[in-house]
Amino acid sequence: MVQKGPRPLVLCGPSGSGKSTLLKRLLKEFPDKFGFSVSHTTRAPRPGEKNGVHYHFTNVEDMTASIARGEFIESAVFNGNMYGTSKQSVDDVRCTGCICVLDIDVEGVKQVKGTDFNPLLVFVMPPSLEELERRLRARNTEHEESLSGRLEIARKEIIYGQEPGNFHIIILNDNLDKAYAELREFVFKNVEEKERASPFFEDAEGKVRRKIRLN
Ligand code: 5GP
């Protein structure tokens, strides 16, 4: 995939690290500047989750076929369910001129790393595994088996996340306001400065558009 428009932003981190909360805050503060890439998943919707908003909810058969047709940038199996970023979802954001934001796991990060997708990679670190477990339990969205699977994956993700060179920044989420301020600063510095050189970019349809400003 040829990179068009602003550089995408990837948020990764263990389930319960707070990355979705940080992401929601960024989208709320800058609704015209960032757009969420809606992933596909085969897991069942949680109460309140809307199809096409939080995820495109699908099934194994359809998703496997779609991946085989080359319609996905990346895909992974997380805790027994399939997740993936379709090219269409990314293009849907890019054609608005917004910065595309992805919430994906470590396996997805490994796939997009080094490709011409060229995202900025953020790893959100929980303060400890104990705190992660406490947050996941308090969220009350997972049954015991899913919860222990998520904690097992978290251990591996934390090791990968902390290895030097795997991410552009590691944000410790021991305090939401502090973590958000760090994310915001990183985004301002890296997205905007790199985009400043030219005020225009080509969108997914090949149209020349003016780049957005973060302030
Ligand atoms: P959840 O079931 O809690 O919504 O998500 C579980 C994990 O799947 C999270 O770590 C989330 O970042 C990851 N995830 C969500 N969408 C995608 C995707 O499109 N690709 C990949 N590789 N992981 C995803």
Residue 142's pLDDT band (cuts 50, 70, 90): confident
The band of 90, judged by pLDDT with boundaries at 50, 70 and 90, is very high
Domain 9-194 class, CATH top level: alpha beta
Pocket test for ligand 1, best of 41, 66, 74 (most atoms within 8 A of CB): 41
pLDDT at 128: 93
* DSSP, res 134: H
Sign of CA dihedral 69, 205, 42, 78: positive
The residue extents of the domains of the chain are 9-194
For residue 200, pLDDT over 50 is answered with yes
pLDDT on residue 215 = 45
CA pair distance 97, 199, nearest whole angstrom = 12
Active site residues: 46, 139, 150
Residues with CB under 6 A from ligand 1: 15, 39, 43, 74, 76, 78, 83-85, 103-105, 107-108
Report CA(139)–ligand 1 centroid distance (Å).
Answer: 16
Rounded to a whole number of angstroms, the distance between the first and last alpha carbons of the chain is: 29
Instruction: Output the pLDDT for position 13.
Output: 97
- Model pLDDT, residue 77: 98
**CB–CB of 6/212 below 8 Å?**
yes
